[in-house]
Structure 1
Amino acid sequence: MSTHHPTFTDDLMEIQQLLARYAVCITRGDIDGVLAVFTPDGTYSAFGDTYPLAEFPALVAAAPKGLFLTGTAAIDLAGDRNAASGSQPLCFIDHATHAMRIGYYSDSYVRTADGWRLRTRAMTFIRRSGAHDSGRPHAHERSGPGA
């Protein structure tokens, strides 16, 4: 019986599919699908704050709706092949106005028993001025610890 050992290419393809699922799920408003691409201790950072998985449903509900169009991520696989980091360009287009937000994600990934997952995802916006920053809060208001 042969055991398949993932190659470098296998790992890259799996991470790319993970990131594609994130973009499709968030575009469709599928919060369960978004949660599934993260580790249980996963976080999303934007708007000057970091949000744990438990806050994702409220964060996504408050976010503008539209198309999350992502480019191919540049992925750096670590030497132990169980962790990686990467950066992925993003163009968000609001469904109602077709106004755009552009920027990129900075990510960390980890191999789990269920395959590759996002551990951290941080958003950087690219402003009309050319500035790159983490942004200001939108309609999402935090409550409870850390608010």
Structure 2
Amino acid sequence: MASCTSADQTEIRDLTARFTDAVNRRAPQELAALFTERGEWHVPGVPAATGREAIAAVLATLLDGFPHLIQLTHSGHVDVSGDTATATWYITESGADASGNGFGFTGVYTDDLVRTADGWRFARRSFAFLQRTRPEAKTRWYPHPHAAG
């Protein structure tokens, strides 16, 4: 069994940052690659996705409904035990649908991770809302300068 190093912590934090980056750049395949081949992604109101293809499809569907979206990852912590780890991350997200109706929320991800030959990957990522809002004012949105596709 491998021991926990600061490199493990750094790699898991980077994995989490890459998840947020893939959401913001609208890159479903890049997001799916952050999971194990049989990884699971759980989002309230959406059927659970198991496997990279299903995970990419869920993100693509979510993005289709919200052409304007930005996710920010805030504080979190990582606990590593050999080749497995758990993590908790707090996020905010804001966006708007095609009609310009805005939304915002704060929530928490709880993660189960495994060390693979390709590095740390999400085995299971589960989201829960902590707060949701619908802003009244219209917002001006700009595309990500490095958006996928």
TM-score with structure 1 length normalisation? 0.75
C-alpha RMSD of the superposition: 2.2
After superposing the two structures, state which structure 1 stretch, 5-14 or 42-51, moved more: 5-14
1:111-130 deviations in Å (ceiling 9; x for gaps): 001111111000000135xx
Q: How far apart in 2 are the matches of 1:50 and 1:126?
A: 19
- Could you tell me how far apart the structure 2 residues matched to 1:72 and 1:127 are? 16
1:56 and 2:60 equivalent? no
Q: Indicate the residue corresponding to 1:125 in structure 2.
A: 129
Is 1:75 equivalent to 2:78 in the alignment?
yes
Counting aligned pairs with the same residue, the percent is 26
Q: How does 1:1-147 map to 2 (within 5 A)?
A: 8-47=5-44, 49-52=47-50, 53-63=52-62, 64=66, 65-78=68-81, 81-95=82-96, 96-127=100-131
Instruction: Kindly indicate whether the alpha-carbon contact (under 8 Å) linking 2:28 and 2:57 is maintained by their aligned counterparts in 1.
Output: no
1:88-130 deviations in Å (ceiling 9; x for gaps) = 00101105555311101010110001111111000000135xx
Q: Is the 8 A contact 1:86 1:107 kept in 2?
A: yes
Give me the TM-score of the superposition, normalised by structure 2: 0.74
Question: What SS does structure 1 have at the residue aligned with 2:71?
Answer: strand
For 1:99, what is the secondary structure of its paired residue?
Answer: strand
Q: Give, in whole Å, the separation in 2 of the partners of 1:33 and 1:18.
A: 11
Q: Which residue of 1 aligns with 2:135?
A: none
Q: Is the 8 A contact 1:38 1:118 kept in 2?
A: yes
DSSP 3-state at the match of 1:72: strand
5+ residue gaps in structure 2? 133-149
Give the length in aligned residue pairs: 123
CA contact (8 A) 1:16 1:72 kept: no
Q: Distance in 2 between matches of 1:58 and 1:113?
A: 25
Counterpart residue number, 1:135: none
Secondary structure (helix, strand or coil) at the match of 2:36 reads strand
